[in-house]
Chain A
């Protein structure tokens, strides 16, 4: 872990992984779309609206997975003070917010034909909305202080506190009566959906995960460059006799 926390090592690794992640994302998304839209059957109850599952469910998994990554990175940042952990969490947050927004919108579009309503304040939907606000709060807090270190620390604490919402989202359909159906893929006794639907769903999920990995690597690289630029500007300012003389 500490080897990867070195920004130079991370850059080298990310240069090697990025093309593979991008290629895998393209392949999996194309194959998942093809199977999901053209070859998988409609549902016996929901009909063709079940095809929304192939974007809604992977987005929801990513929304939860990215928040878990942010909480983990925040823990590493607070305990071991790895600067790269803060950079990774900061780079992942807008992506996680995007996946959560996607979950909410596609869920609403799936809810209308299935339940007859766009939105209901039940445990699953409300806890996912809270997750979206946690992402927004995390991003806002990162940028709320003139002192960047204070912002990073406050946001990391919020990320860790907010992590309590992740198991609530996962188990909300078991703990409370909700309109949302219970889990049908990640279950102790195995998936309950047919392989003709499971295959495109898993391909889309792999595509979303690879897409996230590629974007995360791009964003971390971008953040490391921004730090380098800031450091160079400080060095230039310190060396400038006009500025130094003031």
Chain B
């Protein structure tokens, strides 16, 4: 087996290690995108109501 295959196999524990990392970055990614989307949406709404506001997008 190549070195990369060995690394991915994680000595037979790859089926547990990689899903753990995948799920971790999925959760962090969802939280980040959700929070940014909410902020952008509020900035746009504020811009419609008061375009000169420094907090508006």
Q: Which residues of A sit under 8 angstroms from B39, Cβ to Cβ?
A: 218-219, 221-222, 225
Let me know if A55 and B16 touch, CB within 8 A. Answer: no
A49 contacts B49, C-beta separation under 8 Å: no
Q: Is the CB of B42 within 8 A of A110?
A: no
Interface size class of B (residues with CB under 8 A): 20 to 34
Tell me the interface secondary structure of chain A in the complex.
helix
- Quick check: A106 and B20 within 8 Å, CB to CB? yes
Instruction: Tell which of A42, A94, A229 touches B49, judged by Cβ atoms closer than 8 Å.
Output: A229
Q: Which of B16, B23, B35 contacts A113 (CB 8 A)?
A: B16
Interface of B is mostly: helix
How far is the CB of A158 from the nearest CB of chain B, in Å?
A: 22
- Interface members, chain B 15-57 (any A CB < 8 Å): 16-17, 19-21, 23-24, 27-28, 30-32, 34-36, 38-39, 42-43, 45-46, 49-50, 53, 55
What residues on B are CB-neighbors of A113 within 8 Å? 13, 16
Which B residues are closer than 8 A to A by beta carbons?
A: 10-14, 16-17, 19-21, 23-24, 27-28, 30-32, 34-36, 38-39, 42-43, 45-46, 49-50, 53, 55
A residues at B contact (CB < 8 Å): 11, 42, 47-49, 51-52, 55-56, 59, 94-95, 98-99, 101-102, 105-106, 109-110, 112-113, 211, 215, 218-219, 221-222, 225-226, 228-229, 232-233, 236
